């Protein structure tokens, strides 16, 4: 038997007309998300002034992830997995700082992989994050062993 699948739509994260991907799918209790970037916020900042740094881009991306999880009926404590792509591994401390600030007060952080890549879809992008969430768990209440 196939699990029920729903395409998750968050108001501020519309998918481009003719896109060949979904931002997020709800499969049973699991929210599976495509890689999220700081676009268009980074592009707007790039044209107005200085581009957003890696810390700021990471927070933009994590807030997009939160919006998708909330649109699926969840909350930030449901996020259990992050795969982070950066264009410069030297930015790892900025990514870590943003994760710490974003998940403040959480007992346990999501699992995470950090990988350096040669480029992302737009040159001003410095970070992209894929995330996974389960609506039937809450990392805010998990105890460390």
Domain extent listing, the chain: 5-134
| CATH class of the domain defined by 5-134 | alpha beta
**110-123 core/surface letters (b: 16 or more CB in 10 A; e: else):** beeebeeeeebeee
Q: Regarding beta strands 111-116 and 79-86, do their DSSP bridges make them parallel or antiparallel, or are they unpaired?
A: parallel
pLDDT 10s digits, 70-80: 999 999 999 99
* pLDDT given for residue 7 in this prediction: 87
Task: Judge contact between 66 and 104, C-beta under 8 A.
Answer: no
Tell me the Cα Rg of the chain.
15
Q: Which two tokens stand for residue 67?
A: 């919006």
pLDDT above 70 for 85: yes
pLDDT 10s digits, 17-50: 777 888 999 999 999 999 999 886 555 554 455 6
pLDDT 10s digits, 89-128: 999 999 999 999 999 988 899 999 999 999 998 888 999 9
Among residues 69, 47, 48, 62, the alpha carbon closest in space to that of 136 is found at 69
Task: Judge contact between 125 and 35, C-beta under 8 A.
Answer: no
pLDDT above 90 for 1: no
């Amino acid at each position: 038997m196939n699990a029920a699948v729903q395409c998750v739509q968050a108001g501020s994260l519309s998918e481009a007309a003719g896109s060949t991907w979904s931002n997020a799918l709800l499969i049973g209790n699991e929210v599976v998300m495509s890689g999220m970037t700081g676009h268009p916020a980074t592009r707007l900042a790039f044209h107005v002034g200085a581009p957003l740094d890696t810390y700021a881009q990471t927070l933009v991306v994590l807030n997009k992830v939160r919006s998708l999880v909330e649109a699926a009926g969840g909350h930030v404590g449901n996020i259990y997995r992050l795969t982070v792509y950066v264009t410069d591994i030297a930015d790892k401390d900025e990514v870590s700082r943003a994760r710490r600030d974003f998940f403040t007060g959480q007992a346990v952080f999501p699992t995470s992989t950090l990988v350096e890549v040669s480029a992302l879809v737009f040159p001003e992008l410095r970070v992209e994050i894929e995330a996974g969430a389960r609506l039937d768990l809450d990392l805010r209440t998990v105890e460390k062993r």
